[in-house]
Structure 1
């Protein structure tokens, strides 16, 4: 025994036999007792706290000389210290799920119903499987998916970019002069795409490397305490890390949900004309940058896609000098402002995010629909007038006519297809929807539409860009059609929740939001035709709907006489 004692560090022996609470106060008092529950030596006065507080009476006090503190090689590095009082953590408040020292227990948790010592809750938690490490490993797996995706995207971009000059050179023998100029133009655009895209990917990689570094640190700490620490230390480490891990989990999970693979592609224009033609007259190809979700990312997408709608603000559409307003078309500008067309008074108006009117413009024809073309431009359909107007809505909310097109077809509802084209619902035309270019040119989809024409107000459309699908509502047949352009197939949606479907828009997760006029509701539909949710509005006969670019808000207008309103709702999941 004497030999063993001689190996103990003298400083450790002194500290061991001194009262720990007194040491925290810079006092040196001989320890009389050792509390096995608190895991500390105490003098006579400090030990009396076990008699004055009910929740401490269950602690086990022994003579200081009989103490067996169970020394461990794991260094807690202050994790077991209260950050507010610099005391050893002794208790756990089950009501608030908080670790606390003796002062916290007395001062901050005296009204709580269940404040127990850590050792007791550790014994209880031994029977429960900890999910901290499991969640960390899941976060690590998703972070690694992000790393692999970024690396894969960079490789694919490099391969695509390298292949573009090859395609160009193949045609150069036929049209040397034109392709020399084309190559210079394309390479310049490629460098711009590459610089911008690589910058974004590198920024994402740096952020993800920080996530991985934090994960590795946490895993090392957990692994170390699991191997070398006591149950109390393991529990304290887990509780301390839980909040940080949850924050880390949410960030990485959010990154995984929005994971994209960036690719760049060059295709020759089908209308390529042979020389001699300068490139200024005809550009024989186009460069496109695309993003698509890989299979790995799609498996991480949330399974439950039903949304919840909460009204934010509603305004009554009051009659001014003319007729009662009827907002037949509405859409969000990229900056969050709202642009609407008043069918009854032939006006285009702009609202701010609080639905406060900012400006208006008198139109020459009766408007049917409006769609944002860019940051400051919108397109308005003229219905029976064979007319399309492009209006400019500047930052000061001044609206002015930019240009007009005379069309071969009359159009009702209109929506964005891509950066250069729109989808328009026709009026009494054998093709129910057609493609409209920003230059005013019209062409048809390669879709086998049924032989049916729609009168004004009988149908509306929206377009899902990611899956290339056209959504068409048939108001009087109480039906929603989802046409797949790539496969020339369709899904027919009929349901008791859908009565007189009118306006449609693309919502979160590329689901479809439709105004069901005769049920006074907004119905959410998946691309496979499944009804995901139905929200009963306080608007009678909801007619037109639009969704913000970030999918966080929607605005709906109605067609009920004398009670016409405009309502903004928040979208949550």
Structure 2
């Protein structure tokens, strides 16, 4: 109701603006006449003609008439801009239902609240709430101060971003100078070392060259001797020379052969280490560094308004109807936009709708085994399946008529599901290395770009939800008793490990984007900040809390459990 009121108040309107005073009797006859008198007994502004009735009728002569302008100085008629009328029936709001914390017109009181215990006239309870105005002013003043602080923070952040860009230029310039100095020193060092290596290598090469020249001279000498003997010597002389030279020639051939086999090509080169080597690519293809945009969530540990309190409003036992075989297991629950609650029964393949008092008002038989449910719009919900690769959409009318309107084929089995924006969902996977993914309205599937833990979650061992304002994914690890908070933008994660969280099952986003976790083995709802700080823990009067959801105005929490023989669905007021 509060949201509807905000939508009806347009920019530029001044709540409580003083209206021109008209005769109320004339207004009842759809006639506008300026009021001249005010009857304090009738509590009504009247024109001269209507006020003359007091002089005609005897029982009205004792009424006290005063000038309208004088009366207006102490009594102002306010234009309530529709705040004083019922949104549904457009009738004046006359009653207050304490059970549902709701303002009612006479029709609402009769049709919707006749079974409630405490329904009183607004005028009666308004007299007791004398501090309402001051409390609202105090809240608004605090909100104003925070908004002003946000404005100052944004201006400071803009200035800091500009300064950061300038600092980058200075830093890169300094890096350029350091790199150039490094290369100057590197050039001098490498050239000196290369020249030293060249000198040592040249000495060795010169020695080899000299030795080889000796070999060539001796070979030439031997060939000349053999040629001379062949031309001028007899057969005895030839035999003697051959016998004496054979051993020397064998040694010479062996030495030359070894030198030939060990020939080496000598070169000098310089290779960069891998840490310094840059590929022959343009800088926009390979950047030798990483440009980071870091965002830090302020942990308001000193704030006194972050922790919530829970007050039980309604509780019902979940029993198997006569036509069902198994005891109900609500594996998914979510609030519709108008405050009704939708649940999916995993054991009996059903979708159920409850009104604001947790009275069952609609039921629908599903063909698949449902896992989770999310309200997509005012009258449409999406349901994941545990046994088929699809997401089913149901249409739920205001009169609680339920029909299937669409089936979406997907490539992965999904468990939990929640809205990312008006075009996409964040879904928890079953048996997939990507623990959470995105599915669009057109059934296209995408990865989130998060480096998840290296493990596979079987069905019912993990649950995920999404914080839209900070682009974070919350993932529970039931076996490791851990809640992970992943920041999609920075691809970083915060693991939340605390003795108060044991076998975390369901999770929901609560007031101020805090996280409400079902701690299965401690029978509690644990409130966690986005930075991983435990803000509060609330013991449940039910065993093994399993799934939780928060209304769209963040004012109500619904919880269901898995205790065999004592399953319940409960609704809490958040304050």
- TM-score, with length taken from structure 2: 0.51
Cα distance 1:437–1:250, how it changes in 2: closer, same or farther (>3 A)?
A: same
1:496 aligns with 2:499: yes
Q: Which residue of 2 aligns with 1:438?
A: 441
Pick one of 323, 330, 341 that aligns with 1:338: 341
Q: Which digits, 9 at most, give the CA deviation of each residue in 1:510-552, with x for residues without a partner?
A: 1000000000100000011011111010111100000011111
1:408 aligns with 2:408: no
Tell me, yes or no, if the aligned pair for 1:380 and 1:388 is still in contact at 8 Å: yes
- Secondary structure (helix, strand or coil) at the match of 1:461 reads strand
Give the Cα separation in 2 of the matches to 1:258 and 1:546.
Answer: 28
Q: Which residue of 2 aligns with 1:528?
A: 531
Between 471-480 and 447-456, the greater mean CA deviation after superposition: 447-456
- Secondary structure (helix, strand or coil) at the match of 1:482 reads strand
Instruction: Give every structure 1 segment of 4 or more consecutive aligned residues whose post-TM-superposition deviation is greater than 6 Å.
Output: 196-199, 241-244, 258-261, 297-301
Give the Cα separation in 2 of the matches to 1:199 and 1:301.
Answer: 34
Tell me, yes or no, if the aligned pair for 1:517 and 1:542 is still in contact at 8 Å: yes
Q: Which digits, 9 at most, give the CA deviation of each residue in 1:257-286, with x for residues without a partner?
A: 67899x9xxxxxxxxxxxxxxxxxxxxxxx
Could you tell me how far 1:209 is from its partner in structure 2?
A: 11
1:312 aligns with 2:122: no
Q: Which residue of 1 aligns with 2:159?
A: none
1:325 aligns with 2:322: no
Pick one of 544, 550, 555 that aligns with 1:547: 550
Q: Which digits, 9 at most, give the CA deviation of each residue in 1:424-463, with x for residues without a partner?
A: 1100011000001111111000111122110000000111
1:483 aligns with 2:483: no
Pick one of 457, 468, 471 that aligns with 1:468: 471
- Secondary structure (helix, strand or coil) at the match of 2:370 reads coil
Tell me, yes or no, if the aligned pair for 2:299 and 2:531 is still in contact at 8 Å: no
Q: Which digits, 9 at most, give the CA deviation of each residue in 1:229-282, with x for residues without a partner?
A: xxxxxxxxxxxx999766533444356667899x9xxxxxxxxxxxxxxxxxxx
- Secondary structure (helix, strand or coil) at the match of 2:572 reads strand
Give the Cα separation in 2 of the matches to 1:359 and 1:444.
Answer: 36
Give the Cα separation in 2 of the matches to 1:554 and 1:510.
Answer: 14
Cα distance 1:398–1:251, how it changes in 2: closer, same or farther (>3 A)?
A: same
Q: Which digits, 9 at most, give the CA deviation of each residue in 1:343-401, with x for residues without a partner?
A: 01100010000000001110000000000000000000011211110110111101100
- Secondary structure (helix, strand or coil) at the match of 1:249 reads helix
Tell me, yes or no, if the aligned pair for 1:311 and 1:567 is still in contact at 8 Å: yes
Pick one of 563, 567, 573 that aligns with 1:570: 573
Give the Cα separation in 2 of the matches to 1:342 and 1:526.
Answer: 30
Tell me, yes or no, if the aligned pair for 2:414 and 2:430 is still in contact at 8 Å: yes
Pick one of 396, 399, 404 that aligns with 2:402: 399
Cα distance 1:399–1:197, how it changes in 2: closer, same or farther (>3 A)?
A: closer
Give the Cα separation in 2 of the matches to 1:207 and 1:299.
Answer: 33
Could you tell me how far 1:302 is from its partner in structure 2?
A: 5.0
Q: Which residue of 2 aligns with 1:26?
A: none
Give the Cα separation in 2 of the matches to 1:551 and 1:301.
Answer: 22
Q: Which residue of 1 aligns with 2:138?
A: 249
The count of residues paired between Structure 1 and Structure 2 equals 312
Give the Cα separation in 2 of the matches to 1:394 and 1:242.
Answer: 40
Q: Which residue of 2 aligns with 1:353?
A: 356
1:513 aligns with 2:516: yes
Tell me, yes or no, if the aligned pair for 1:470 and 1:485 is still in contact at 8 Å: yes
Tell me, yes or no, if the aligned pair for 2:518 and 2:547 is still in contact at 8 Å: yes
Tell me, yes or no, if the aligned pair for 2:466 and 2:472 is still in contact at 8 Å: yes
Cα distance 1:300–1:494, how it changes in 2: closer, same or farther (>3 A)?
A: closer
Could you tell me how far 1:198 is from its partner in structure 2?
A: 13
Could you tell me how far 1:201 is from its partner in structure 2?
A: 3.9
Could you tell me how far 1:199 is from its partner in structure 2?
A: 8.0
Give the Cα separation in 2 of the matches to 1:338 and 1:381.
Answer: 17
Give the Cα separation in 2 of the matches to 1:339 and 1:358.
Answer: 10
Could you tell me how far 1:202 is from its partner in structure 2?
A: 2.8
1:202 aligns with 2:91: no
Residue pairs, 1:382-397, within 5 angstroms: 382-397=385-400
1:427 aligns with 2:430: yes
Cα distance 1:454–1:198, how it changes in 2: closer, same or farther (>3 A)?
A: same
Between 376-385 and 303-312, the greater mean CA deviation after superposition: 303-312
Q: Which residue of 1 aligns with 2:105?
A: none
Q: Which digits, 9 at most, give the CA deviation of each residue in 1:61-113, with x for residues without a partner?
A: xxxxxxxxxxxxxxxxxxxxxxxxxxxxxxxxxxxxxxxxxxxxxxxxxxxxx
Give the Cα separation in 2 of the matches to 1:442 and 1:554.
Answer: 30
- TM-score, with length taken from structure 1: 0.51
**Ranges in structure 1 where 5+ consecutive residues have no aligned partner:** 1-195, 211-240, 264-294
Give the Cα separation in 2 of the matches to 1:458 and 1:466.
Answer: 26
- Secondary structure (helix, strand or coil) at the match of 1:248 reads helix
Could you tell me how far 1:318 is from its partner in structure 2?
A: 1.0
Could you tell me how far 1:303 is from its partner in structure 2?
A: 4.1
Cα distance 1:451–1:358, how it changes in 2: closer, same or farther (>3 A)?
A: same
**Ranges in structure 2 where 5+ consecutive residues have no aligned partner:** 1-5, 19-129, 155-295
Cα distance 1:379–1:300, how it changes in 2: closer, same or farther (>3 A)?
A: same
- Secondary structure (helix, strand or coil) at the match of 1:409 reads coil
Give the Cα separation in 1 of the matches to 2:135 and 2:392.
Answer: 51
Q: Which digits, 9 at most, give the CA deviation of each residue in 1:121-158, with x for residues without a partner?
A: xxxxxxxxxxxxxxxxxxxxxxxxxxxxxxxxxxxxxx
Cα distance 1:244–1:550, how it changes in 2: closer, same or farther (>3 A)?
A: closer
Could you tell me how far 1:208 is from its partner in structure 2?
A: 11
- Secondary structure (helix, strand or coil) at the match of 1:319 reads coil
- Secondary structure (helix, strand or coil) at the match of 2:476 reads strand
- Secondary structure (helix, strand or coil) at the match of 1:202 reads coil
- Secondary structure (helix, strand or coil) at the match of 2:553 reads coil
**Bigger radius of gyration among the two:** 2
